[in-house]
Structure 1
């Protein structure tokens, strides 16, 4: 399909139709973000095997997840800044190469200390995937389909979770946790290959030509209006990540301990919830392009607050199963819009920086979710602790009402 271009107020050419370049960026970014979901669940699913292999306690095992998250947060911020300076595709390729190498080396770890180092370094590469991929797609796709395109990238994360589940199911019985980490290299190499011959977006090339691509983290706070928007978006991404990690970490335990669910039943719940998430992400992307970013977020955020409160009052298995899909639909459906939303608030020279800094600050805040929920559950039930998550979605809704402007149909500067 041929491509037509239009010029925005800054003189940059932007595509108004969808062609092979748009599909290539979408594929590369989706596969890249799938590595994030793959890595998160590989570590979670193989943790019992790792604990037995190194004879470590739960606190020591938890530190592996913590060090990985720390690496992802640092890597996301650093590589987001570098992508604005040196190019989206180039830095995108660096991140997946780093992730691939150190994920594979995890399988060769002779001791806990070495594994921790490799996990931190793998996390560095992993952290850049979200923001750089979302920036690439946002700049490549027409504004009419921008949110829908970034929603497909967000689905990649859920597909990574499914891939991790299959890897652990079929590989770990024969090859242990080491085999699962080695297998994790294969899709990472696919992501690396998918970036081959992919060109930088026209906007970034123009910026480089004008020699204006400087490190621009200060742009996120360049004026009172921009500062307020940045704070609002940090609140929103923090809530998004906090709710997701809190629910996905503790829900299986709650179902097992309070309701007597077996492993098979919790697995079925997980699958239903993930399917709900995928459908929610796709629907959200379409909705955000049709009626706008703010209305879509407000609908999903307030619905998430309601469904979380209702869900954790239930105890009937079939109700929990069906509502699990609804829970996933609203709680994680909003991931379909963050790529476009963040891209539209910042200029080309700071876009990748903004995507990765804001989202990874949110991910850092979310790192406390399992701890806080676990702490509350010491004096109350897990279901009660999880039901309190309802309130944070109201907080995010308020940030959209008072701090985050509407950007539907905005040309990228």
Structure 2
């Protein structure tokens, strides 16, 4: 390897690390917001006099907003660039998260949460696209898994910061803290160059005197032919199952631990944090397995593990067993998160990649957004333990959806 090639390799590795870190940071803000809302719910219920179902709908409304944001920011990222739109989505999210601290009733809080959701919607797909395009094919699953770990770092930060912030400033203080990411977004944009794959596509378009891909055409590429339609359906099922399982578990886990076992807010945070650490460990493991054994085998292993571990966790009563079980459940139930970014990067072309990531993931997130309400309704009649016990059924659906998705390990984007 000559000096020029060595320098180029070093530059590519450096860019890859920066792209992964920036993407993980942006997605981490999404994770922080999720658990902040979870810990804020008891205070919101008391202050605004809401029912559990109405309070849970705030999470659903946020995730519905994310669908709109996913479509808008995904299309814009394919048209104007990944880094620019990632920054704008974070700023949009941060502003309306901060305004939620001023809410005086359900209606205005729901509006702020919906608008914050629009910003949240851009972060997964753009970050996953940026990371997938920044590394060699043999490392792709590990790269997108590290972006997913960023999400869990945000969740973990919220788990430890929520209790002291609530004690000092009340639930409104949590949303004030959520406004600070706007500063991070501005720094992020200045420090990171645009994706080489995106720039290469732009150059080819200009060289051949072609018009930029329109928003409508980007969306049509998700259903371009029979094979692509099958892939999009399969990805929609996988994303829906992933988000339904995740939000069904995480939104109500602190309340479940508190009401059934009498844990304090700090105690619930500790047990939740162990589950989140398990999720992070699962993502690291999934990335290596998917890059070594292939995407299908990795997903099947983790889907079976998720179904079994959630079922077992719902039956546990001993605090120590809950700690261990929570770690294992987290590893399998959320370890697959980065894999979705890998799959969608490999199935869709550069000019529609961010669109596909954001549209399909956030449609799945909209379906998953109903999980907190469904869990609340089932728990009202049969208890949270029973609600968790029926959740594993969704992973059977995901297992069979994998047959719609071809194996494309190590292909060049």
TM-score higher than 0.5: yes
1:326 aligned residue: 328
Preserved contact between residue 3 and residue 16 of structure 1 (Cα < 8 Å): no
How far did residue 396 of structure 1 move? 0.7
Please name the residue that 2:95 is paired with: 101
CA positional deviation for 1:376 = 3.2
In structure 1, how many angstroms separate the alpha carbons of the residues matched to 2:267 and 2:396? 31
1:48-197 correspondence to structure 2 within 5 Å: 48-197=42-191
Is this contact kept in 2: 1:83–1:352, CA < 8 A? yes
Q: Where does residue 358 of structure 2 map in the other structure? A: 356
How far did residue 118 of structure 1 move? 2.3
CA contact (8 A) 1:167 1:183 kept: no
Q: Size of the alignment, in residue pairs?
A: 403
In the alignment, what sits opposite 2:404?
A: 403
Within 2, Cα distance between the matches of 1:238 and 1:125? 20
Partner SS, residue 313 of structure 1: coil
> What's the TM-score, normalizing by structure 1?
0.90
- Relative distance call for 1:251 and 1:144 in structure 2 (3 A) is same
Which residue does the alignment assign to 1:23?
17
Q: Specify every segment of 5 or more residues in structure 2 that has no aligned partner in the other structure, as ranges.
A: none
Instruction: Choose 363-372 or 63-72, whichever is displaced more.
Output: 63-72
Q: Is the 8 A contact 1:33 1:129 kept in 2?
A: yes
CA RMSD of the aligned region, Å?
Answer: 2.5
Secondary structure at 2:351 match in 1: coil
The structure that is helix-richer by fraction is: 2
Contact 1:88 1:200 in 2 (8 A): yes
Q: Return the match for 2:231 from 221, 229, 232.
A: 229
TM-score, normalised to structure 2, is 0.90
The Cα of 1:15 is off from its aligned counterpart by 7.6
* Inter-partner Cα distance in structure 1 for 2:333 and 2:396: 12
More displaced, 61-70 or 286-295? 61-70
* Contact 2:160–2:269 under 8 Å retained in 1: no
Q: Any conservation in 2 of the 1:214–1:349 contact (CA below 8 Å)?
A: no
Is the CA contact 1:158–1:278 (under 8 Å) kept in the aligned structure 2?
A: yes
Q: Distance in 1 between matches of 2:256 and 2:36?
A: 21
Gaps of at least 5 residues in structure 1 are: 6-13
Does residue 371 of structure 2 align to residue 369 of structure 1?
Answer: yes
Distance across 1 between alignment mates of 2:4 and 2:16 = 10
Q: What CA distance in whole angstroms lies between the structure 2 residues aligned with 1:249 and 1:68?
A: 13
Give the drift of 1:4.
5.6
Name the residue aligned to 2:214. 214
Greater mean deviation of Cα atoms: 159-168 or 299-308: 159-168
